[in-house]
């Protein structure tokens, strides 16, 4: 920074919800967002050496270790088709060797070989996987879940460890007012909050919208403000109903040392003060936990799935968030690379790991996970690009529905394989050892194909989990 002062939102890179103040001489990173002030910055590194570019490089490095799951299935299907043709030709030759006529009726070698070819044809087997997977993808879209391909559906069913980012994933990611206090208690609360509302309505600070809403919820009304003056990095001042009010840091407004607000220690993101010299207002802001976070984690624990929180936020905030949501373990103050290494360590321990995140700092760990799950509502482009599954409406409880869908798809696939292979083997044995009409072979073959497709399509009626 060569000129100016401002608050920088670094949550995309670090997970820290509170804007970081930057003044002349401070360094800023690419991928962060400027807040309330004006900055003139000098570029000190080439694009390839920037923090954002390093994160993108980590994403590509992690993604290179992945292979599409469908390749093995496609190769096996090709081999099976070749086996079917070879087996039918060999059976035709065997029938000729046993003395059957080449053609001429149901007992001919050609007729029995053609019947075997029909019953062994891999139509039902080939459709057993895509019918279930495509239905799961379509059903997920109806529930606000975007599966980016069949491999994501298959892998999610095997997940036994889910890692979460904190800011914007388990929490709302938007600091909200937890307490509004007016001192002394005998002061006119509505007048004080109306003054705070009126001045903050003219502020561009990231906390202003939350404070305005909280004041309005308490019945405060907007009053005329004159003589507005802004002190970058400190606060804003203005005259309301003849009184000069200052709003900002405690030092800026001259706030007195007062008892702490009724908010869990460590959960405080910041305090905003207001004073006219005789009356003080303290707004305590927190990054609120999503209401569905704790029930979602409890449901995962009930399924035997391990949960871990990986965050770049400070230790105190991470500890409070972990306690509030009931997560099993957490690590704080992690860089994007450290998050990725933590994911790889869990994978090396034998876990099938899913990572849920939304920020640029989550992108490398998302790419390193077996299943990457992005929060689509406020997620960064880098995070969503790395995601195998996207929760499009940012509802964390959708994760449970996604897991349920993937497990239902796996069960449907297994049933489909049993049906298709069982029908083919049974009819093949009948054709080889006893003989069967071609019409029966066609009926069993087509019937098993239809049954497999219908079994997969059952997933279209899948319902989202209730009670979370």
User: Which position has the higher pLDDT, 356 or 110?
Assistant: 356
Neighbours of 64 (CB within 10 A): 9
Tell me whether strands 280-286 and 389-391 are parallel, antiparallel or unpaired: unpaired
Residues 6 or more apart whose Cβ sits within 8 Å of residue 416: 124, 127, 128, 129, 131, 132, 452, 455, 456
**Alpha-carbon 302 to chain mean position:** 20
Lookup result for tokens 């960064």: 380
Q: What is the pLDDT of residue 12?
A: 56
Domains of the chain, each with CATH number or no CATH: 3-44 (no CATH), 70-127+417-460 (no CATH), 134-172+290-402 (3.40.50.1000), 176-286 (3.40.1110.10)
Average pLDDT over residues 191-211: 87
Are the C-beta atoms of 160 and 188 separated by less than 8 Å?
A: no
Q: Provide the annotated active-site residues.
A: 165
Mean pLDDT for the stretch of residues 439-454: 91
Between the ranges 168-182, 190-204, 381-395, where is the mean pLDDT highest? Answer: 190-204
Over residues 362-378, the pLDDT tens digits come to 778 888 999 999 887 66
pLDDT for the residue 355: 95
Task: Name the pLDDT band for 359 (thresholds 50, 70, 90).
Answer: low
With a cut of 70, say whether residue 261 has pLDDT above it.
no
Q: Looking at residues 6-18, what average pLDDT do you find?
A: 64
pLDDT of 54 reads 58
Residue 418 neighbours by CB under 8 Å, 6+ apart: none
Q: What is the mean pLDDT of residues 308-328?
A: 88
Residue with the bigger pLDDT between 267 and 80: it is 80
Distance in angstroms (rounded) separating the CA atoms of residues 210 and 270: 12
Residues 254-260 have a mean pLDDT of 61
Residue 263 has pLDDT above 70, yes or no: no
What confidence tens digit (pLDDT) does each residue in 150-169 have?
A: 888 889 999 999 999 987 88
Q: What is the pLDDT of residues 424-433, one digit of tens each?
A: 899 998 888 8
- Identify which of 15, 289, 310 has the alpha carbon closest to the alpha carbon of residue 167: 15
Say whether pTM exceeds 0.85. no
What confidence score (pLDDT) does residue 66 get? 39
What's the pLDDT at 265? 45
pLDDT at position 58 over 70 = no
Classify 39 in phi/psi space as left (phi over 0), alpha (psi -120 to 50) or beta: beta
Query: In this predicted structure, what is the pLDDT of residue 463?
Result: 86
């Amino acid at each position: 920074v060569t000129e100016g002062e401002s608050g920088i939102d670094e949550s995309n890179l670090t997970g820290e919800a509170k804007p970081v103040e930057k003044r002349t001489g401070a360094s800023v990173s690419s991928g962060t967002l400027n807040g309330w002030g004006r900055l003139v910055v000098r570029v000190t590194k080439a694009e390839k050496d920037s923090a954002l570019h390093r994160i993108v490089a980590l994403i590509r490095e992690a993604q290179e270790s992945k292979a599409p799951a469908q390749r093995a299935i496609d190769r096996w299907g090709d081999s099976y088709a070749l086996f079917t043709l070879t087996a039918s030709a060999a059976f035709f030759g065997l029938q000729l060797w046993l003395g059957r006529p080449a053609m001429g009726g149901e007992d001919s070698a050609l007729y029995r070989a053609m019947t075997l070819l029909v019953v062994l044809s891999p139509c039902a087997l080939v459709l057993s996987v895509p019918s279930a997977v495509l239905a799961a993808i379509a059903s997920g879209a109806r529930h606000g879940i975007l599966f980016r391909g069949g491999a994501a559906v298959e892998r999610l069913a095997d997940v036994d460890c889910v890692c979460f980012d904190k800011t914007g994933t388990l929490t709302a990611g938007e600091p909200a007012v937890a307490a509004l206090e007016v001192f002394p208690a005998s002061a006119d609360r509505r007048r004080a909050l109306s003054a705070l509302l009126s001045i903050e309505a003219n502020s561009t600070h990231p906390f202003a919208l939350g404070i305005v809403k909280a004041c309005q919820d308490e019945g405060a009304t907007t009053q005329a403000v004159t003589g507005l003056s802004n002190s970058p990095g400190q606060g804003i001042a203005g005259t309301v109903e003849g009184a000069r009010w200052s709003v900002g840091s405690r030092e800026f407004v001259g706030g007195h040392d007062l008892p702490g607000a009724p908010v869990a220690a460590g959960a405080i993101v910041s305090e905003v003060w207001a004073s006219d010299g005789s009356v003080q207002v303290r707004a305590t802001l927190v990054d609120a936990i999503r209401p569905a976070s704790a029930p979602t984690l409890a449901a995962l624990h009930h399924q035997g799935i391990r949960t871990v929180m990986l965050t770049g936020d400070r230790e105190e905030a991470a500890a409070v968030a972990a306690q509030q949501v009931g997560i099993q373990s957490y690590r704080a103050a992690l860089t994007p690379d450290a998050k990725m290494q933590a994911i790889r360590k869990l994978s090396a321990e034998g876990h099938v790991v899913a990572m849920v995140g939304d920020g640029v700092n989550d992108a490398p760990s998302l790419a390193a996970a077996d299943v990457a799950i992005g929060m689509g509502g406020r997620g960064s482009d880098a995070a969503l690009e790395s995601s195998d599954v996207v929760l499009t409406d940012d509802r964390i409880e959708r994760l449970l529905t996604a897991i349920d869908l993937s497990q239902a798809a796996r069960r449907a696939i297994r049933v489909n394989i049993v049906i298709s292979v069982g029908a083919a083997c049974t009819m093949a044995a009948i054709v080889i050892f006893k003989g069967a009409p071609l019409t029966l072979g066609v009926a069993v073959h087509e019937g098993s194909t239809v049954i497999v497709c219908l079994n997969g399509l059952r997933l279209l009626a899948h319902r989202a989990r209730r009670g979370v």
